[in-house]
Structure 1
């Protein structure tokens, strides 16, 4: 058995843990350099007709779109049509005073302070009330905001509103639609023939139907609406093959000079390792010592993950037609299979009882981030710490924590997630940082 067939067998085993032959599935492409090592699909593209999923099926890639938007902005800047540090007010002169404080760079790096339009209330209006929205509606809503959540550039907080505005700015600066600009300047030059910008509720040809999990074994067809497709925050539709072409382009000067592209990966606060390392629609981090540039995406019925392990010239593309399949875990298992010998070993530490008990309690975000919470409990049975992560009071993840030092705990090996407990000036545990490959969320102990 060759190394390549061994890898394919191992990928089959990994995907079997997440995908049923009777349900929605996942398309996988793993490549090194320009060579494809694994290209397969698992599960069904349409459950009702039991149509198998193929590797050439199209999917909405959600927020993986944001790096394409970042490239468009870099191209326009390179052509002298806009500047990273000019204010949003240039393009939206009727916006409130805060538009003079927010620059294009702040939008790209998610440090604008703008509230996210994509809330539970938004999805409730779409799925339960049957309301429809246009890009103009979203922009009008953003323009109606009386204040920002924080001073631009002082903090990082993910907001899809930033990229909806960027899409409109690209159209104003380029004098054409975002779809036309991307096709002419990115998709066509790279040969991405099966990629397009979704602009309507009309499902393109060769598109996998999207599904949502109601439970671990039950799922339902997701609606395919203009709101599900989204706008510049997530409306690119693509395939694993085309995303592999896109990933390869970052190691050449095909679209832009390499020195220009390098700016896209500079995090908003490069000198502070306690901040999320977000650039222009991409996150740069390390997976146990191995450099990874990545971004995920999700919308109703679809899920996407694109990761480039740049030092190893390794690309992993995962696209799913089910919201809820753990692509981050699949990615982690594939990465460990291929790069485990290059990763920093995890060595558990033995801690006394009191060093565990001091971590127990509830941790919450600041008032503006109050949707996220973490409960840490000591289990008498296992004599270990367990943690439950909540968002909007809904359980997201359960962790059995493994101590690596007094204040650093492994939460999830597959997703390379850690909890780093933070102390105040007196040495008392005062908060926790949830860390995962360049993404960092800080919560305070309450």
Structure 2
């Protein structure tokens, strides 16, 4: 009797429908999908599983390549992969469900639940964390600086908290900017446990996975636990494939073990608002200046070929993932891979294009010179960008760019926009406008100015800078010396990241700052020569 159906029964029925075998895809769609995955469809490589649903019903579920190269086990649509950062929406959903239950509010100060964090003078709200606008440094960047990069030891969420609590600075004031930081979501897992009395793994199983019928899904809170049907992860180098499994127990930022069928169930539950949090999960964050960004709560609101897309990609170890919904077209895509060379977003879009209405052909734009050139630095971070003019257009750090419109060029990380006044800015895919300033390049600064020992003010690490007639190098624990390549005054680039030296009023170098893509201005003070 439909009138007596409970929300739970409705959810279970929805899950059962999506767990059923996929009906045949229309026309030649299956063959076109097969062609996309042809490079991984042989018997000697890892590969991917792909799931497509239309109007809430699976129309295609296929798998390619091997789940285990050593044992020659073929992948199937039921193979379990790790979803990487596609997992973040599940941690965010847990927080939103607790808010719906009246147990917390996204407006709360994170220190209400994690008082171990420093008081930075400005409140970090939970809503800042779910959208990466908190300013918290990414723990992986800090750990790498200390000599143990991601997946080099069995890190836990307690390790993440230990790193976060000793950071004396933020990347930026909460709400001022967007910067992807895994720290937000590992701390959210801790908050879920402290508020609900259940680990995020337990909460997810009882409140999401079991009610929705996601019978093959669990959190990787113990990487050594046996998981029947799990595909091993691989990456490749010049010698071929090698195992690149995840050995971390930190989760919330990633760590969801799942199948493409279960991800389709999840997407359908979000479309139907079965959990009652879909709208908030997909609501774009707003910065302090009132500008909305693309990132919502563990998920991204973008457009693909002019169509609304709600999606998130993932990459951890040798696993790659992507899950997307196109609400107006009632289309859902789930992609999981155990081949590290796969660009999951690019491959996922190619699959989606088979099932979406054809996009209108773009009108080509041909740029006319003269073209700009010079060295620029991001105003906020100092990261350099070298623009060089060519006969046909421009390059950015040696990569040819495609003109979009007058003064605008398609570039990695977002469009570069040149103003008539000579200014340069970047509009990122998240909707952030990043300003640049023009700087004068430096070729060979005096090594003696920079040599010495430098101790971190936040972390148990000391860096040693050495130099001679052959250049300048920097040492960190557990790593060979890294070459410092001069960029502009007192600023160098290296495999460690951006190294910016600090001088006192007399011009003497007294410290340095290390920045990478997810942690800015990690400060070091000169501790000796």
Q: TM-score range by the shorter chain?
A: 0.7 to 0.9
Structure 1 residue 262 displacement after superposition: 1.0
Change (3 A) 1:207 1:364: farther
Distance in 2 between residues matched to 1:130 and 1:3, nearest whole Å: 42
In structure 2, the residue matched to 1:430 is 424
Distance in 1 between residues matched to 2:73 and 2:245, nearest whole Å: 18
Which consecutive residues of structure 1, in runs of 5 or more, have no partner in the other structure? 390-397
Distance in 2 between residues matched to 1:232 and 1:365, nearest whole Å: 31
Distance in 1 between residues matched to 2:154 and 2:414, nearest whole Å: 39
- Say whether residues 1:345 and 2:361 are aligned partners: yes
1:231 paired residue among 251, 267, 271: 251
- Say whether residues 1:44 and 2:66 are aligned partners: yes
Change (3 A) 1:43 1:363: farther
- Higher mean alpha-carbon deviation, 272-281 vs 37-46, is at 272-281
Structure 1 runs (4+) greater than 3 angstroms displaced: 17-21, 120-132, 270-276, 360-370, 373-380, 384-389, 408-412, 438-443
In structure 2, the residue matched to 1:102 is 124
Q: Secondary structure at the match of 2:52?
A: strand
1:419 paired residue among 415, 437, 461: 415
In structure 1, the residue matched to 2:524 is none
2:331 paired residue among 303, 308, 314: 314
| Structure with greater proportional helix content | 1
Q: Secondary structure at the match of 2:265?
A: helix
Distance in 2 between residues matched to 1:272 and 1:104, nearest whole Å: 18
In structure 2, the residue matched to 1:444 is 436
In structure 2, the residue matched to 1:116 is 138
Please give the TM-score of this superposition, normalised by the length of structure 1.
0.84
Structure 1 residue 337 displacement after superposition: 2.7
Q: Whose Rg is larger?
A: 2
Distance in 1 between residues matched to 2:223 and 2:78, nearest whole Å: 21
In structure 2, the residue matched to 1:262 is 279
Which consecutive residues of structure 2, in runs of 5 or more, have no partner in the other structure? 1-23, 439-529
Change (3 A) 1:154 1:77: same
Distance in 2 between residues matched to 1:3 and 1:275, nearest whole Å: 37
- Say whether residues 1:407 and 2:407 are aligned partners: yes
CA deviation string 1:227-277 (max 9, x = no partner): 2x5311111110000000000001213211xxx421222211289898641
Structure 1 residue 198 displacement after superposition: 1.0
Is the contact made by 1:88 and 1:99 (CA closer than 8 Å) also made in structure 2? no
1:221 paired residue among 243, 260, 266: 243
* Root-mean-square deviation (Å): 2.9
Change (3 A) 1:272 1:206: farther
How many corresponding residue pairs? 414
In structure 2, the residue matched to 1:333 is 350
Is the contact made by 1:212 and 1:219 (CA closer than 8 Å) also made in structure 2? yes
Q: Secondary structure at the match of 1:86?
A: coil
CA deviation string 1:123-172 (max 9, x = no partner): 99557996433221211211111121111111111100011111100111
Is the contact made by 1:88 and 1:100 (CA closer than 8 Å) also made in structure 2? no
